[in-house]
Amino acid sequence: MSQYEASFEIDSKTDSDAARRMLEKVYDTIREESRSVREGTDDADELLRAFQRLRDAAKHRTPGRLTITYEQYDDEFSD
């Protein structure tokens, strides 16, 4: 398994606004994809709720750090 990570320090209002916009876009994308592919499944609902919490937390303009981790598994998708 490969792991990739990027951290974004939020130490200004501009950084906070950028993080908020990024998380809003990710939330909207996941919401649309979940709607068309797996609407109503527990996995899709939980994923959407998790990103909704991130999006809502980013609405508060406070300092912090946004870290994105991507773990790439050795398996392939089954069709």
| pLDDT for residue 68 | 92
pTM: 0.75
Give the C-alpha separation, 42 to 25, whole Å.
22
Q: How confident is the model at residue 33 (pLDDT cuts 50, 70, 90)?
A: confident
Q: Locate tokens 């939020």: which residue?
A: 10
Give the C-alpha separation, 44 to 25, whole Å.
17
Domain boundaries, the chain: 2-61
Handedness of CA 48, 65, 25, 2 (dihedral sign): negative
pLDDT tens-digit map of 39-69: 556 777 888 899 899 999 999 889 999 999 9
Give the C-alpha separation, 59 to 55, whole Å.
7
